[in-house]
Structure 1
Amino acid sequence: MSIVYGMAVFFMIWWIVLFAVLPFGVRQSQHEAGDVVPGSEPGAPDMPRMLRVIIGTTIVTTVIFLSYLWVRESGFSLDDIPFFTPPSDR
């Protein structure tokens, strides 16, 4: 796997994980807190804690990417799964 290909895969996984992690830890909206910033959506989080989200996303993505890299480089295929039987030609 080339470095550019690896970076592209990591980037795509990072964005997918980011949108999965974003809702975690959100306590209340600006409207619920009673402190709506002018020009923003009242349903926006009161304290988004983006640094925590970015660090968590990077850690989760690194684990997923290293797992992907291990499976890819180990030569694992569907034929290695005992319960998977490819269709036979009859």
Structure 2
Amino acid sequence: MRWTSALAIYFLFWSLCVFFVLPMGVRTTDETGGDRIPGQADSAPHRYDAKKVVIRTTIVSTVMFFAFYLNYVYGWITPDMLDFFSPPNRLT
């Protein structure tokens, strides 16, 4: 695998992991006991920390990409193993 392909795949993992990480550790204003601003949604976070989101996303996406790369190198799960629609060849 070329390094540019690996970088592109890592970016895809990172952008996917953002959606996994965003709800982690979010507390609403009602949960923290703060004052709500008029018009604020009930589910709006009390305080948003982009640095924590980036760090958590990087950690999760690195672990996922590492597992993907190991599978690419060692071939633990191949596309043939995931072919559920073709019957197996049992002529042997």
Determine helix, strand or coil for the equivalent of 1:60. Answer: helix
1:46 matched residue in structure 2: 46
Give the CA deviation at 1:49: 1.6
Q: Deviations over 1:29-60 (max 9, x none)?
A: 49x73253x9xx72332211211111011001
Give the CA deviation at 1:9: 0.5
Q: Is the 8 A contact 1:29 1:42 kept in 2?
A: no
Superposed counterparts of 1:2-21, under 5 Å: 2-21=2-21
Provide the C-alpha distance between the structure 2 equivalents of 1:78 and 1:7, rounded to a whole number of angstroms.
22
Superposed counterparts of 1:14-33, under 5 Å: 14-29=14-29, 33=34
1:83 matched residue in structure 2: none
Give the CA deviation at 1:78: 6.1
Determine helix, strand or coil for the equivalent of 1:69. Answer: helix
Provide the C-alpha distance between the structure 2 equivalents of 1:29 and 1:19, rounded to a whole number of angstroms.
21
Q: Deviations over 1:2-39 (max 9, x none)?
A: 11111111011111110111011111149x73253x9x
Q: Report percent identity of matched pairs.
A: 33
- How many residues are matched? 81
Alpha-carbon RMSD across the aligned residues, in angstroms, is 2.7
Q: Name the aligned partner's letter for residue 42 of structure 1.
A: Q
TM-score, normalised with respect to structure 1: 0.72
Change (3 A) 1:29 1:2: farther
TM-score, normalised with respect to structure 2: 0.71
Structure 2: unaligned runs, 5 residues or longer: 82-86
1:67 matched residue in structure 2: 67
